[in-house]
Chains A and B, each alone.
Chain A
Amino acid sequence: MKQMTEAQLSELEQDLNAIRNEVIADLGERDAQYIRRMVRLHRMLEAGGRVMMPFGFIPPVFVAATATLGIAKILENMEIGHNVMHGQYDWMNDPSLHSQTYEWDTVCTGDSWRRTHNYEHHTYTNIIGKDRDYGYAVLRLSDDEPWRPRHSLQFINYILLSVFFQWGVGLHELETEKLQRREISLREKLPFLKEFARKGGRQAFKDYVFFPLVTFPVAPIVLAGNVGANLIRNLWSSTVIFCGHFTQDAETFSEEECEGESKGHWYLRQLTGSSNFTGGRWLHILSGHLSYQVEHHVFPDLPAHRYPEISGKVQAVCQKHGIHYNTGSFARQYGTVLKRVLRHSLPEHLGGSSATTA
Chain B
Amino acid sequence: MLAKQTQSRTLHWLGRQLFNRDDPAAFFDPLLERINPMWVQEYTPARVEQIIQETPDTKTLVLKPSRRWAGFRAGQHVNICVDVGGIRRNRTFSLSSSPILWQEQGRVTLTIKRLPGGRVTNWIHDALQTGTVIGMGEAFGDFLVPEPAQPVLFIAGGSGITPVLSQLETMAAIDYRAPVTLLYFVRTGDDVIAREKLQALSARYSALTLNIIATHETEEHRYLCDEDLDAIPGIKARQAFLCGPTGLMDLARNLLHQRGIADTDIHSTFFSVPQADLGNEALGGQVRFSGSKLDIGSEGDATLLDIAEAAGLSPRHGCRMGICHQCSCRKTAGTVVNRLTGQTSGPGEENIQICISVPKGPVSIDI
Q: Which of B17, B26, B42 is most buried by chain A, counting CB atoms within 10 A of its CB?
A: B17
Among B20, B26, B341, contact of A105 (Cβ-Cβ < 8 Å): B20
A36 to B37, CA, bound (A): 14
- Residue A309, interface by CB 8 Å: no
A115 to B324, CA, bound (A): 9
A to B CB contacts below 8 Å, 15 in the list: A28-B87, A29-B86, A32-B87, A43-B30, A86-B324, A86-B325, A93-B350, A96-B21, A96-B23, A114-B318, A119-B324, A123-B323, A202-B17, A210-B18, A263-B321
Interchain CB contact under 8 A, A122 and B21: no
Q: Which of A30, A44, A87 is most buried by chain B, counting CB atoms within 10 A of its CB?
A: A87
- Residue A27, interface by CB 8 Å: yes
Q: Which of B319-338 contact A (CB under 8 A)?
A: 319, 321, 323-326, 328-329
Q: Which of A257-306 contact B (CB under 8 A)?
A: 263, 300-301
A105 to B325, CA, bound (A): 20
A85 to B28, CA, bound (A): 20
Q: Which of A160-198 contact B (CB under 8 A)?
A: none
Among B16, B87, B88, B325, contact of A118 (Cβ-Cβ < 8 Å): B325
- Residue A21, interface by CB 8 Å: yes
Interchain CB contact under 8 A, B87 and A93: yes
- Residue A146, interface by CB 8 Å: no
- Residue B353, interface by CB 8 Å: yes
- Additional pairs, 14, CB under 8 Å, beyond known A93-B89, A98-B351, A123-B324: A43-B28, A44-B31, A90-B351, A91-B87, A93-B88, A96-B29, A98-B328, A100-B326, A100-B329, A115-B318, A123-B319, A123-B323, A210-B17, A301-B323
Interchain CB contact under 8 A, A122 and B323: yes
- Residue A103, interface by CB 8 Å: yes
Residues of B close to A93: CB separation below 8 A: 87-90, 349-351
Closest to A76 in B: B20
A143 to B1, CA, bound (A): 51
> Chain B nearest CB: distance from A46 CB in Å?
9
Interchain CB contact under 8 A, B325 and A40: no
Among A33, A43, A205, contact of B17 (Cβ-Cβ < 8 Å): A205
Interchain CB contact under 8 A, A115 and B326: yes
- Residue A256, interface by CB 8 Å: no
- Residue A104, interface by CB 8 Å: yes
Interchain CB contact under 8 A, A114 and B326: yes
Interchain CB contact under 8 A, A43 and B88: no
- Residue A92, interface by CB 8 Å: yes
Interchain CB contact under 8 A, B328 and A90: yes
Using a CB–CB cutoff of 8 Å, the interface residues on chain B facing chain A are 1, 16-18, 20-21, 23, 26-31, 34, 42, 83, 85-90, 318-319, 321, 323-326, 328-329, 341, 349-351, 353
Residues of A close to B26: CB separation below 8 A: 96
A115 to B325, CA, bound (A): 10
A287 to B351, CA, bound (A): 27
A29 to B353, CA, bound (A): 22
Closest to B83 in A: A32
> Chain B nearest CB: distance from A183 CB in Å?
21
Interchain CB contact under 8 A, A28 and B20: no
Q: Would you give the 0/1 interface string for A74-100, flagging 1 where the beta carbon is closer than 8 Å to chain B?
A: 000000000001110011111110111
A87 to B326, CA, bound (A): 9
A301 to B322, CA, bound (A): 9
Closest to A91 in B: B87
Closest to B14 in A: A210
Residues of B close to A99: CB separation below 8 A: 325, 328, 351
Closest to B86 in A: A32
> Chain B nearest CB: distance from A275 CB in Å?
20
Q: Which of A7-39 contact B (CB under 8 A)?
A: 21, 24, 27-33, 36, 39
Interchain CB contact under 8 A, A40 and B34: yes
Closest to A121 in B: B324
A32 to B85, CA, bound (A): 8
A28 to B318, CA, bound (A): 27
A104 to B20, CA, bound (A): 7
Closest to B20 in A: A103
A29 to B25, CA, bound (A): 25
Interchain CB contact under 8 A, B86 and A87: no
> Chain B nearest CB: distance from A218 CB in Å?
19
Residues of B close to A28: CB separation below 8 A: 85-87
A87 to B328, CA, bound (A): 8
A77 to B44, CA, bound (A): 29
Q: What 9 A-B pairs have minimum CB-CB distances, sorted nearest first?
A: A87-B325, A32-B86, A119-B318, A93-B88, A103-B20, A118-B324, A29-B86, A99-B325, A28-B85
Interchain CB contact under 8 A, A92 and B87: yes
Residues of B close to A123: CB separation below 8 A: 318-319, 323-324
Closest to B327 in A: A100
Q: Which of A41-92 contact B (CB under 8 A)?
A: 43-44, 47, 85-87, 90-92
Interchain CB contact under 8 A, B21 and A103: yes
Residues of B close to A31: CB separation below 8 A: 86
A152 to B29, CA, bound (A): 50
Interchain CB contact under 8 A, B89 and A95: no
A28 to B87, CA, bound (A): 7
- Residue A206, interface by CB 8 Å: yes
Q: Would you give the 0/1 interface string for A195-236, flagging 1 where the beta carbon is closer than 8 Å to chain B?
A: 000000010011000100000000000000000000000000
- A33-B86, A100-B329 as given contacts; A43 in contact with B27, CB under 8 Å: yes
Q: Which of B23, B319, B329, B353 is most buried by chain A, counting CB atoms within 10 A of its CB?
A: B319
A103 to B88, CA, bound (A): 20
Residues of A close to B17: CB separation below 8 A: 202, 205-206, 210
Residues of B close to A96: CB separation below 8 A: 21, 23, 26, 29, 42
